[in-house]
Amino acid sequence: MLLDLKYLLSHLPPNVDKRDAFLLIQYTLKINYEKLFFIKEIEITVQEFDKLMECIQLRSEHMPIAKIIGHKSFYNNEFKTTTDTLDPRPETELIIDLFLKYFPNRAVPLSILDLGCGTGCIGLSILDFYKNSTLCLADISDKALSVAKYNAKNLNLENRCSFTKTSWFNDVKGKFNAIVCNPPYVEDNYDLDRDTLYDPPIALFGGKDGLDAYKKILPYTKQFLCDKGFLFLEIGLGQSEAVCRIAEDLDTIEIAKDLQGINRIIVFSINSI
Ligand code: GLN
């Protein structure tokens, strides 16, 4: 059958914009995104049409594009994501920038821990820069760990990765030069937008005040950091003071703002610098 692109784009349901439609067409019909700007009609099969309509329907029900197509770009790479993992978010990319700043020598062999790794996007993005380093990816969810394993393999990084099923530090062994962590920090009763509700609640909600995970992580961090080690920790809106208070035996080195000007990442160390 012949798909009239102009007709399709002018009859999209609410919540589905043109860019979404292009991404879904690219995904279902395997057509290069740029090419779509020059095509008026496409010959497609009935199955392809049905698949495209199904995807457009899901998007109109607020499912994020990343959850429909099953991957999202983060820093330099593309990561598989599912309903068992938090979709990689642009503000989290700031951790990678800070890591590169605090460890300027990329040849140094670091041992890195991604605590609550989800897709593994933070740790794996870093490991991709530090060719002599190793990464432990830790998560409480078996399903998230298998997504992280897929991503490690897909990026050819799996031979420098290990995987640990654990609730925060409970079953983590050893000491690390750096720990990266984006824990759940949304307050339990916070009214999240509908797109976010496709992410797993365990990766989003951090108890009544959103601080539960920090209370489980920060008092034990010192034991797991090597001398001159750093913790790079993501926080939610307005949480920096409370989080620094919980981290009373760590030194706050930097509180970095995201592109919206919100305090987003705290760098902690066990030694003042
Ligand atoms: N930044 C995410 C959101 O508000 C939450 C991620 C998290 O809890 N770590 O959608």
Domains in the chain, CATH or no CATH each: 2-61 (no CATH), 72-270 (3.40.50.150)
pLDDT at 32 over 90: no
Q: Which of 206, 234, 231, 232 is nearest to 221 (CA)?
A: 231
Ligand 1 pocket member 122 (CB < 6 A)? no
**CA 132 → CA 12, 117, 127, 180, distances in Å?**
49, 20, 8, 18
Q: Which of 62, 91, 185 to mutate to test the pocket of ligand 1 (most atoms within 8 A of CB)?
A: 185
Q: Whose CA is nearest to atom 4 of ligand 1?
A: 186
pLDDT at 202 over 90: yes
Q: Which of 48, 57, 72, 70 is nearest to 21 (CA)?
A: 57
| Backbone dihedral angles phi then psi of residue 171, each to the nearest 5 degrees | -115, 25
| Backbone dihedral angles phi then psi of residue 248, each to the nearest 5 degrees | -65, -25
Q: Point out the ligand 1 atom lying closest to the alpha carbon of residue 236.
A: 1
| Residues whose CB is less than 8 angstroms from the CB of residue 201 and which lie 6 or more positions away in sequence, other chains included | none
Measured between alpha carbons, how far is 69 from 55 in angstroms, rounded to an integer?
A: 9
Which helix (H) or strand (E) segment holds residue 153: the answer is helix 142-154
Query: Can you state the percent helix, strand and coil of the chain, rounding each to 5?
Result: 40, 25, 35
Looking at residue 215, what is its pLDDT?
98
Q: Which of 55, 86, 54 is nearest to 72 (CA)?
A: 86
Q: Whose CA is nearest to atom 7 of ligand 1?
A: 184
Q: Which of 85, 89, 181, 199 to mutate to test the pocket of ligand 1 (most atoms within 8 A of CB)?
A: 89
pLDDT over 90 for what percent of the chain?
Answer: 93
Residue 93 in tokens? 């990319």
Note the pLDDT tens digit of each residue in 81-137.
999 999 999 999 999 999 999 999 999 999 999 999 999 999 999 999 999 999 999
Q: Point out the ligand 1 atom lying closest to the alpha carbon of residue 92.
A: 1
Q: Whose CA is nearest to atom 10 of ligand 1?
A: 196
Ligand 1 pocket member 116 (CB < 6 A)? no
Measured between alpha carbons, how far is 210 from 213 in angstroms, rounded to an integer?
A: 8
Measured between alpha carbons, how far is 169 from 244 in angstroms, rounded to an integer?
A: 19
Looking at residue 34, what is its pLDDT?
82
Note the pLDDT tens digit of each residue in 152-188.
999 999 999 999 999 999 999 999 999 999 999 999 9
In the structure, what pLDDT confidence band is assigned to residue 53 with cuts at 50, 70 and 90? very high
Ligand 1 pocket member 186 (CB < 6 A)? yes
Least confident piece of the model among 1-10, 75-84, 98-107: 1-10
Looking at residue 272, what is its pLDDT?
57
Q: For residue 71, how far is its CA from the centre of ligand 1 (angstroms)?
A: 18
Ligand 1 pocket member 235 (CB < 6 A)? no
Q: For residue 51, how far is its CA from the centre of ligand 1 (angstroms)?
A: 30
Q: Are 225 and 169 in contact (CB under 8 A)?
A: no
- Mean pLDDT over each residue of the chain, to the nearest integer: 96
**CA 172 → CA 81, 109, 156, distances in Å?**
24, 20, 24
Structure pTM? Answer: 0.95
Residue 235 in tokens? 């926080």
